[in-house]
Amino acid sequence: EVQLLESGGDLVQPGGSLRLSCAASGFTFSGFAMSWVRQAPGKGLEWVAGLYGSGAGISYADSVKGRFTVSRDNSRSMLFLQMSSLRPEDTAVYYCAKDYIFGDGYWVFDLWGRGTLVTVSS
Amino acid sequence: IQLTQSPSSLSASVGDRVTITCRASQGITIYLAWYQQKPGKAPKLLIDAASTLQSGVPSRFSGSGSGTDFTLTISSLQPEDFATYYCQHQLHNYPTFGQGTRLEIK
């Protein structure tokens, strides 16, 4: 079955760190760019970070640059998001999303996970 | 590149024809996608490249536009279409979404 499954969301204090994981199955993971997209409670969608299938190309939203690091392990079909210096405004459901087109970043997303909730609060 | 959707919310009835617009702050040719999101669910890709309907998406959905002005049209609303819709561009390795349009039952 083609699917993405996120994990790692939790309650964390401001200034803390957290690592999210996304397990992919049912498609050639290494051939597609992958992204993290978040949604704050009651708000819209915000792209956070993306990574080419090869890992050669990485891009971040300005709001997380220097604090978040996206990585992938193609041998295990896994995507990660290391988050540090977390702020209350980082509170959101974080979705893992697959690129629609095989190859380098196309940045249109045809497969999404269910999301994992990150809450940043003291 | 900023995307501005209008309206932000919309009330309509089953069978109505509905149009949602998305305006880009600069030209993006046809690099625009549309998504549907229902409460508590992940977004679903409806349309790519401004007007290419995804497999399995009903033909009552259509997209048009290029440059800075785009539209998503639902020709005859069905009960399952009541949701929030987002446009998204994909340029410069920095995709961004519109703020969303919430489509509610009148």
Instruction: Look at residue A70 in the predicted model and tell me its pLDDT.
Output: 97
B52, amino acid identity: T
Instruction: Look at residue A94 in the predicted model and tell me its pLDDT.
Output: 98
Does residue A56 register a pLDDT over 90?
no
Does residue A61 register a pLDDT over 90?
yes
Of the candidates A37, A108, A112, which has its C-beta nearest B33's C-beta? A108
Of the candidates B44, B90, B100, which has its C-beta nearest A108's C-beta? B90
CB contact under 8 A, B93 and A95: no
A57 touches chain B (CB under 8 A): yes
- Summarised one tens digit per residue, pLDDT across range A69-120 is 999 999 999 999 999 999 999 999 999 999 999 988 899 999 999 999 999 9
Query: Chain B: nearest CA to A92, how far in angstroms?
Result: 13
Return the ∠ at Cα B42 (arms to B39 and B45), rounded to 5°.
Answer: 115
In chain A, what percentage of residues exceed pLDDT 70? Answer: 100
DSSP, residue by residue, B62-105? EEEEETTEEEEEESS--GGG-SEEEEEE--TT--EE---EEEEE
Instruction: Look at residue B20 in the predicted model and tell me its pLDDT.
Output: 98
Instruction: Look at residue B92 in the predicted model and tell me its pLDDT.
Output: 87
Query: Chain A: nearest CA to B6, how far in angstroms?
Result: 14
Interface test with B, best of A34, A107, A117 (most B CBs within 10 A): A107
A78 touches chain B (CB under 8 A): no
- Summarised one tens digit per residue, pLDDT across range B56-82 is 999 999 999 999 999 999 999 999 999
Of the candidates A35, A45, A108, which has its C-beta nearest B48's C-beta? A108
Q: Between the CA of residue A95 and those of A37, A115, B42, what are the distances in Å?
A: 5, 4, 8
Tell me the two tokens of residue B86: 């987002």
Instruction: Look at residue A25 in the predicted model and tell me its pLDDT.
Output: 98
**Residue closest to A41 by CA, chosen among A89, A75, A77, A7:** A89
Instruction: Look at residue B33 in the predicted model and tell me its pLDDT.
Output: 98
Does residue B38 register a pLDDT over 90?
yes
A52: nearest CA partner in chain B: B93
